[in-house]
Chain A
Amino acid sequence: MNEKYQVSVSPHVRDSISTRKIMLFVIIALLPACIVGVVNFGPYALLILCVSVASSVAAEYCYERALKKPVTTGDLSAVVTGLLIGMNMPPQIPWWIPVIGSVFAIVVVKQVFGGLGQNFMNPALGARCFLLISFSSEMTNYAAGRGLTSLVTKVASTTDALSGATPLAYLKTGAHFDLGALFLGNVQGVIGETSAIALLAGGIFLLVMQIIDWKIPVIYLGSFAVLVLITAAARGYSNPLEFTAEELCAGGIMLGAWFMATDYVTSPITPKGQVIYAVFLGVMTWLYRMIGNSSEGVSYAIILANCIVPLIERYTRPRAFGIRKDKRQKEAGKA
């Protein structure tokens, strides 16, 4: 028998898409928001983004070389992680903070658990929360950037504090914020979260390219919006609908919903599970933002949801074709 058949396990049907291509699309989708951030906050923001990406790739390379594992920096996932960390930094942050964040994200959150595909939470968000707890004053110092003069004067006229207040802190008090500025990104915040339209463009690009599924971002944003609308109406805010729109555009929810909650590794693979996950995210974000003390809670909501993903998947496992839940089998199991 000369002819040998290759025996292998499923899947047998393969696509031309690779991790590298997917990550490349994600990077392209993130670029508009990065550009807006750099235009908004000046060249130092660009430096922060570069430092994050470089340190994250370096961390992955060094770790894998040190442990004599195959080096996987070529799949660009470390670049995406680094970029997301950079986008989560306030514009005036000391440069070494994103470096610590990148090392934590790559080594502790990702590689220690077995590398890409094995991490139980989104590495970039794990790093963000690590840094937020460790360096809370530096991480919440939203000093005004270059293009923010109009906003600063507006802030100065209404409150005593000149720096520090993000749009969300305003919304927390029930006050309104300029929706146009929120949409375009001419506001305070971390480098990559300010412009809702740039993030939305990136998200829609990923949707069109079929990199992500619509379920998680749309249901996340939708359930959050419905809850906020009800709360705003119940609290008697002047224009609940506008308030909801402002909540959706302000802070990290756009970045989180399109780019972080949809991480393949840390979101459910079952369609039913994705719906549960997205609703859970919406509810948690609403709890953090509207009920809790802090004004922002997207990152905590997402890493919390990441942790319950295995549980969600376990209970939403689809029925295999031709197999039904057999009562007799259950009884046999009990006996």
Chain B
Amino acid sequence: MKLKKNSPVERLWNGLFVENPVFVLVLGTCPTLATTTSALNAIGMGLSTTVILALSNLIISALRKVIPERMRMPAYIVVIASFVTMVDFLMEGFTPALYASLGIYIPLIVVNCIIMGRAEAYAGKEPMIPSFFDGLGMGLGFTAAIFCIASIREIIGAGTWFGMQVMPSGYVPVNIFVLAPGAFLVYAFLVAVMNKLKIGAGRRPKKEWDPTEKICGDCLSCMKLGICDEKPESCSETPAQTIARSKGTVAEAIAAPAAEKPAAGAAPSSEKKEATKS
């Protein structure tokens, strides 16, 4: 699937998956760990961040030609802080319970590095519409990620989901999952899963490393230097010639190219010395 660069769909997909702020960029770790004790908290935190992120991206992008280069950080902060204050008051007024449980983490969105990062990396350079969708995509990616973490933590650690009992009554909650260590554990495992899905990292080479294996193309770093007589395709000389050129001993063969390289670069420095002398 090839998406047009900077199109709204591409930006949303980028934020949700390709550059997921939590699992791929590993930004905004503090709210990720702290507000994922329950699914409801995570949704509240994620959506308020999304709103702030999309709107601040939009405004910063609109002002990108007005804001002087050297003063951009304070300018960004003013924009972000305005939106955070609005969301803060709105949440206090309309969702007091959620506001109380999120506590300091709502005001702290001001210094959330996802928002600062997107302003700096994207909204400060790109037009308004892509910036808005970039913010939306990143925000939704953040929401989806912390919702996953929070769901796992709440179900295992409390046996509930959105406050409803989902585990059988005989289930003993594993308390550690709603505490800080559980946040790190779940986060780490989900990052690993994401890596596996995304880049196939964690796949191991099938063959074990064998120190006696020939590394053809690089005779001097090969452990079979002096034993093997094959001429690798990429080399201009056979191993025997390599050794002969470096006067026969392995140690010298290894030392030879190292000595050659600085010789080329050494000339200017010696000239310099002479220059300083004179």
Contacts and interface: CB of A to CB of B under 8 A. Distances in A.
Co-assembled chains A and B: yes
Interface of A: 1, 4, 7-9, 100, 108, 130, 133-136, 138
Given A4-B227, A108-B185, A133-B179, A100 B211 contact: no
B4 to A, nearest CB: 39
B176 A133 contact: yes
B174 A100 contact: yes
B211 A9 contact: yes
- Among B174, B212, B224, the one with the most A-chain Cβ atoms within 10 Å of its Cβ is B174
The B interface is mostly helix, strand or loop, or mixed, namely loop
A107 to B, nearest CB: 10
B101 interface: no
A170 to B, nearest CB: 27
B95 interface: no
B217 interface: no
Given A8-B212, A130-B176, A134-B177, 14 more contacts: A1-B227, A7-B223, A7-B224, A9-B211, A108-B185, A130-B181, A133-B175, A133-B179, A134-B174, A134-B175, A134-B176, A135-B172, A135-B174, A138-B172
B212 A7 contact: yes
Nearest to B172: A135
B176 to A, nearest CB: 4
A21 to B, nearest CB: 24
Interface in B156-200: 172, 174-177, 179, 181, 185
A130 B223 CA distance: 46
Contacts of A108: 185
Contacts of A135: 172, 174-175
B175 A8 contact: no
Contacts of B179: 133
The 8 A-B residue pairs whose C-beta atoms are closest, nearest first, are: A134-B176, A134-B174, A133-B176, A134-B175, A7-B223, A130-B176, A133-B175, A4-B227
Contacts of A1: 227
26 contacts: A1-B227, A4-B227, A7-B211, A7-B212, A7-B223, A7-B224, A8-B211, A8-B212, A9-B211, A100-B174, A108-B185, A130-B176, A130-B181, A133-B175, A133-B176, A133-B179, A133-B181, A134-B174, A134-B175, A134-B176, A134-B177, A135-B172, A135-B174, A135-B175, A136-B175, A138-B172
Contacts of A4: 227
Nearest to B185: A108
- Among A4, A130, A136, the one with the most B-chain Cβ atoms within 10 Å of its Cβ is A130
Interface residues of B, number: 13
Contacts of A7: 211-212, 223-224
A120 to B, nearest CB: 13
A292 B96 CA distance: 37
A71 to B, nearest CB: 15
Contacts of A136: 175
Nearest to B224: A7
Nearest to A132: B176
Contacts of A134: 174-177
Contacts of B177: 134
Contacts of A138: 172
Interface string B211-237: 110000000000110010000000000
Contacts of B223: 7
Nearest to B157: A134
B74 to A, nearest CB: 37
A9 B212 CA distance: 10
Contacts of B227: 1, 4
A100 B172 CA distance: 12
Contacts of A8: 211-212
Contacts of B185: 108
Nearest to A70: B208
A9 B176 CA distance: 44
Contacts of B211: 7-9
A228 to B, nearest CB: 29
Contacts of B172: 135, 138
A4 B224 CA distance: 10
A1 B227 CA distance: 9
B55 to A, nearest CB: 40
Contacts of B175: 133-136
- Among A7, A8, A100, A108, the one with the most B-chain Cβ atoms within 10 Å of its Cβ is A7
A100 B156 CA distance: 13
Nearest to A97: B172
Contacts of A9: 211
A136 B212 CA distance: 53
- Among A4, A100, A133, the one with the most B-chain Cβ atoms within 10 Å of its Cβ is A133
Contacts of A100: 174
